[in-house]
Structure 1
């Protein structure tokens, strides 16, 4: 029974992680990015959405029907033209939707949740290879109850797939490092699987490029350090080989390292085009100021915080926000103080030094790449906490390894045996409480995520829908100004939520997407041609991305109706929306 205990523990961790990821999976409102996932994965595109005219709200809801005849090539072409992402996740989701009937939101999110469960199992494998079986269990437990991982797993987006592939790729990287140290060569099956994981990762998310570059730099840096200062690193190679054989080893490693880029070459022109697309302008601040130079640092620290603990701070009373922030900082500070000496033990122990240094160097390189993107290219990718997913698995791996280690004991000459014994007992007791408290805090935080108390959806589609439905008994027309597919998707997220509360027995509801190119003047002119309105008074909401409050006209014509701006009904949740009251015929 004893030999099966680790596998039973892993099974329990997987069950817990699965429950957390699938609980309340459909309850949260769907938002902009998930709308895009649905459209592309259903085999739909820009042409399937009625534009520049008022249509019944239900017609927009019916867009999300599977086009089973769409191929992966067609989906990739649509993604290349109308989005800024590689195609693999959307093709996989399309196949997943074809094989599953039911509510499409649950189905789309369930695939991400499955990849999230797979990441738990893969984390066990990574730490089992890198450190020990116990570290594997702790790494799996860390990611299973991490609020950040649960949040990503409940998004119908391509975060858990590349996260899983990062873990698998890092497992290959660790095995390559061990092969070079102990065998003096890379086994072909290790190199080939590493190539496969990296290639799939590159086609799943553009940020995987950062991971791939970081892995190459890690191999180079540690190999150079091992060659120049083997004693300092403590990584003396156990198996020496002749120069010709060593040359073959490094040539094969070079091939394994660069082959993913060669396989990715057909998509490189699309990557270049996507990088300069206006859809990525949201990475830039709306109104730049000096604060933008320090904000990324605090946003990164906040990202590290919520990887471990996340209590309600969004849309909560002030006293709850203050209490949550204090508790989160106390928990984080306690874990940080407890983990740092254990992490030092991971990096100094002979049995774990190579793997620990590999993961640490990888993380440092990723963070340096983030700094280059933020301060060198002006793309603040730290503004969305989810974008820390690419190096998040390494945090879990090092946490798992650290939780299994005792702090390094620095012996002092004057330490008496009783003092040493007391210190040892205190450390053992700290270790005894550290692991349960870490898991309990993570579990509580994950329950908050599942309950939609933290990591609430961007632009708050449900909240916007409630405000649009201000007067349920009055006929309603909602007009969304759009310039690109992202703004159409944003409007569709509002439409889906409004349809849930705007039942069929209420007065009719019209919805329109109207182009705002070259300016909003084209929207105002299109409103003049609207017809078929009910004879009673109508509420008109204008959702206007990029428009300032003072730029809304005081009056508009909706067909032959004069509409007056209601100054008390202006809101801005990421984007502005304003109510106009239109009189009767």
Structure 2
């Protein structure tokens, strides 16, 4: 006689087979993510923020770099040299006195860098970036899990994993030795705990203490990784307040004692514990004298059309989460064509995503979590624009700060595309294609955009010392003196990029048979406080000591030029603009 559970026994092999296929597919998306993030990983020159990560993670300091004097390349690059006697205490000490970032990622990088040999005596940039790249690839299975929590659908979860794997924005963050990929993992974990908590509120059931504890730990680690993780938490609190008010207004919940369930008390406990964990960093942040100087670039007044800039900056960041063609190509026709294709793609894709989102909001089984994620994104954007327009802190200027809600956007996009996958036809202007082909077009666009980023044709590095050094070597035939004004380690990092590029080219000269023009190069970091004149005076004293012919390159020099330059001849030839380096060339005898 057959067992009553015979049908279930027949289904078990199919379930196991399905899980096996899911695992293999997820492994494939993870592999794709890993390959994309490691492509050309060390090819792009590091920029100032990456130099900060490298120096502080080594336990070194920028304060040892001499100011107001001419120094050679090796002296400027000294903070990039690993030392055997550094410890975590050195990481804490220099990070808390010279920077405005919490320590978790720097500590991880401190130990991680020990796995890699030096690169001509300097820390391995490729090795440092590898940590961020691996963490970025891990966001793929993490996003799969978050999608499964939101909508119990394998198609949605796989689409979310694919989009996260190929997202140009995600790859941009993963190819820098910065803390954003780790922060994204904390955002995903925090969102998972947040969604579980809201589900208990919806069902009026008891929230597990383990979830509360995990939520607090994740939030504490998130804040200790990047202070802007707090924005993720603020958006969650806004959504919770909305749920509480909505619960009070519902007729079936007139009894307030039913609303203030143990789940609410435990959520309040989680919020309180998280606030305490975050408050630990407030004294450290406030006592840091560099904080204001390091964030000057996102502060400032605006007038006229500048009031619209944050809107367009935010819009550009949203589009580039899944679409970014070579708009930073050196070829103008390619830039124009890429911009037009991206615009057409965005116009075509938006109705598809809105229809899918609207469908999910009408599904009884998926309405709640979809609404929660949507509200979370809206709350995040509201915080961004409030800080921008009311407090003068323009977070839209830094696309990387969108990490605070990035995973939730990917999940909602995947959720909408899954609807498109199952519908009959989708219009492309006058033509119709199947929903599956439409989804494949989106995935292909995302993959193409990923390739664009790894080849530095989109989300291009803010600084191009490689091009600047190439220009110097082509232009100058006599010893070179490069002078800049210095306020913080950011400006030291700008010159480190140039010095490192010179060192790389000098090493190539030793092993290459080609004739490479190399002239002696020194740097001047003219310190500047509130009075720009101090930089002018410092440079004047150095110029007075020069006796031989030399070329003076004033690079990002924000002060009046010394009178001694009146005897020099300014370069009359129109030289190309270089990203990150505003310069003037003087030929001095």
TM range (shorter): 0.7 to 0.9
SS of residue in 2 equivalent to 1:292: helix
Distance in 1, matches of 2:251 and 2:458, equals 47
Residue equivalent to 2:551: 539
| Structure 2 length-normalised TM | 0.87
Residue equivalent to 1:431: 435
Q: What's the CA shift for 1:514? A: 2.1
Matches of residues 156-167 of structure 1 in structure 2 within 5 Å? 156-167=177-188
Pick aligned residue for 2:33 from 2, 7, 17 = 17
SS of residue in 1 equivalent to 2:231: helix
Does 2:505 align with 1:513?
no
Query: Structure 2, unaligned stretches of length 5 or more?
Result: 1-16, 511-516
Residue equivalent to 1:497: 501
SS of residue in 2 equivalent to 1:581: strand
- CA shift digits 1:430-472 (9 cap, x unpaired): 3211221111111111011111111111132222222333435
Pick aligned residue for 1:222 from 243, 246, 251 = 243
Does 2:127 align with 1:107?
yes
Pick aligned residue for 1:188 from 209, 219, 225 = 209
- CA shift digits 1:4-47 (9 cap, x unpaired): 11111101100000100111100001111111111111111123
- Kept in 2, the 8 Å contact 1:342–1:407? The answer is no
SS of residue in 2 equivalent to 1:404: helix
Are residues 247 and 431 of structure 1, via their aligned partners in 2, closer, same or farther at CA, if it must alter by over 3 Å?
Answer: same
Matches of residues 51-66 of structure 1 in structure 2 within 5 Å? 51-66=67-82
Residue equivalent to 2:335: 321
Query: Structure 1, unaligned stretches of length 5 or more?
Result: 409-422
Residue equivalent to 2:155: 134
Residue equivalent to 1:368: 382
Does 2:534 align with 1:522?
yes
Q: What's the CA shift for 1:288? A: 4.1
Are residues 230 and 444 of structure 1, via their aligned partners in 2, closer, same or farther at CA, if it must alter by over 3 Å?
Answer: farther
Residue equivalent to 1:282: 297
Q: What's the CA shift for 1:581? A: 0.9
| Structure 1 length-normalised TM | 0.88
Residue equivalent to 2:513: none
- CA shift digits 1:166-190 (9 cap, x unpaired): 0111011111122333361111111
Residue equivalent to 1:578: 584
Q: Which segment drifts farther, 183-192 or 153-162?
A: 183-192
Does 2:488 align with 1:484?
yes
Distance in 2, matches of 1:245 and 1:518, equals 56
- CA shift digits 1:275-333 (9 cap, x unpaired): 96122111135x84312211100111111111111111225332221111000011122
Are residues 229 and 497 of structure 1, via their aligned partners in 2, closer, same or farther at CA, if it must alter by over 3 Å?
Answer: farther
Count of residue pairs the alignment pairs up? 554
Residue equivalent to 2:175: 154
Residue equivalent to 2:5: none
The alignment's C-alpha RMSD in Å is: 2.9
Residue equivalent to 2:44: 28
Distance in 2, matches of 1:200 and 1:152, equals 19
Matches of residues 180-579 of structure 1 in structure 2 within 5 Å? 180-182=201-203, 184-229=205-250, 243=257, 247-272=261-286, 277-285=292-300, 288-405=302-419, 424=424, 430-471=434-475, 473-501=477-505, 503=509, 506-530=518-542, 537-547=549-559, 551-553=560-562, 555-556=564-565, 563-568=568-573, 573-574=579-580, 576-579=582-585
Distance in 1, matches of 2:344 and 2:164, equals 21
Are residues 577 and 43 of structure 1, via their aligned partners in 2, closer, same or farther at CA, if it must alter by over 3 Å?
Answer: same
- Kept in 2, the 8 Å contact 1:563–1:581? The answer is yes
